């Protein structure tokens, strides 16, 4: 693992972010807290209900699994399917970026551009960390 300090720090931070995001998806039931990004993204597009809860659970589990795989890879434990999991997560994360940062603001009446820019930048950084963690694209 011959990588720069910046790449190592970014991978570690992304793993922690994904773990926290996934865990927060299972909390905040019924709340519009800014802590639960997955829940807020799903509920901004779909009505609250069974489908919404199932989708939040699936996305939360995917985020937790990806965070664990990035951490395991960080500590030298690589499994044959790690690459596939990270590529799937990158695709799912792109979909989340579209849902959270493009579709949801289009449906909102008042969007604070600076808050939007901060959130969009954070989401793109996470995507960059996921892509960086894959062997195919630099990890």
pLDDT over threshold 80, residue 3: no
pLDDT over threshold 50, residue 119: yes
pLDDT tens, position by position, 18-28: 898 888 888 76
Q: Domain of 122?
A: 5-133
Whether residue 103 is contained in a domain is answered as yes
Whether residue 138 is contained in a domain is answered as no
Name which of 12, 117, 125, 132 is nearest 74 in CA terms: 12
Residue 28: its pLDDT value, please?
A: 60
The count of domains in the chain is 1
Residue 29: its pLDDT value, please?
A: 54
Whether residue 139 is contained in a domain is answered as no
DSSP 8-class letter at 101: I
The pTM score is 0.78
Whether residue 55 is contained in a domain is answered as yes
Number of helices and strands (H, E) in the chain? 6, 0
In this structure, what token pair is assigned to residue 10? 């970014």
Q: Show the CA angle centred on residue 18, arms to residues 68 and 92, nearest 5°.
A: 100
């Amino acid at each position: 693992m011959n990588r720069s300090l910046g790449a190592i720090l970014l991978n570690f931070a992304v793993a922690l972010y994904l773990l926290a995001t996934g865990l927060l998806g299972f909390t905040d039931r019924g709340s519009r807290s800014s802590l639960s990004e997955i829940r807020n993204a799903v509920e901004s597009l779909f009505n609250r209900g069974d489908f919404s809860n199932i989708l939040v659970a699936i996305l939360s589990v995917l985020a937790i699994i990806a965070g664990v795989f990035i951490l395991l890879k960080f500590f030298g434990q690589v499994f044959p399917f790690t690459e596939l999991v990270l590529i799937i997560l990158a695709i799912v994360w792109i979909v989340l970026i579209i849902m959270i940062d493009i579709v949801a603001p289009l449906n909102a009446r008042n969007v604070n551009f600076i808050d939007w820019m901060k959130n969009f930048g954070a989401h793109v950084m996470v995507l960059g960390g996921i892509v960086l963690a894959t062997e195919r694209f630099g990890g």
